[in-house]
Amino acid sequence: MRLVIDILLTESRTMTPFHIFQRGRAASRGQQGFSLLELSIALVVIGLVLGAVAIGRDLQRSAANQRLSTDFVQGWQLAYEAFVNGVGYPPGDNPVDPTGRINGSVAAAGTEMCGPAMINTFLAAGIKLPDGRTEGQQDRYVYLDSNGNPQEVQVCFQSVNWAEPGAAVNTYATRPRNVMVMKGVTFSLAGALDQQIDGHSDARFGRLRDVTLADDVTAGTPGQIWPIDDSMAFGSTTSTRLDESQVAVTTALFKMMR
């Protein structure tokens, strides 16, 4: 102990004022907060983490939309084509005197085929259906919207008026066409399906259209964007930009080949 005290006393006699200042500065530095550089690095790291989370969420939603398109929408498209190829007429048409229209045997032209009646019609013809939501609800599929809230898309089939090019350029006429009706489609899902089906997002032209624009014969007008977007709340067409809301949905029509 005596030796240690002697060493400390000797060191204190040989230290200059500059050395004493440096030691005091180093001691006081340990009691200070974060420096500006340290705070900047921390903010950069937080920004990178948040960016990675956002990118991961977008990739997950994109993969889910792709799976919905491949397993569900294309599954029903293949089921429809298998039905027509197997029996020779669309679902619900008159087998004796076919009209070529879905539910053609029903008195009211263009009557929608949905739910259990549609499912039973396909199953009775020996057609394999997509898994859908569950047994007995193969016409439904649950997915998440851009805010992470659950949505449900439902498939039906119908014969509707479909705008097609007329006799002159930029003129259009309506003709009956068989379509897959997809109810409960968000803007993000509509855009993803439209890109896969038509190669571009257009709610008025192509094989995938919004229900309000499918029979639009207005001359000289270009294509149109989808009438909803993810900033709108469910059941509204007004932009609210609430992250906790279910986003707005619409009905999309997918034209079948026959």
> Tens digit of pLDDT for each residue in 40-77?
777 777 877 766 655 555 656 667 778 899 999 999 99
Half-sphere exposure of 167 (CA within 13 A, CB side): 0
pLDDT of residue 1: 44
Cα–Cα dist 214/205, whole Å: 7
Cα–Cα dist 102/255, whole Å: 12
Q: Which tokens in the block code for residue 43?
A: 């903010």
> Tens digit of pLDDT for each residue in 234-244?
988 888 888 78
pLDDT at 2 over 90: no
Q: Which 3 state secondary structure label does DSSP give 70?
A: helix
Cα–Cα dist 73/67, whole Å: 9
Average pLDDT of the chain, as a whole number? 84
- Find all residues with CB under 8 Å of 83, minimum gap 6, and list them: 90, 91, 121, 122, 125, 127
Q: Give the strand pairing for 249-255 and 208-210.
A: antiparallel
> Tens digit of pLDDT for each residue in 111-167?
999 999 999 999 999 999 999 999 999 999 999 998 889 999 999 999 999 999 988
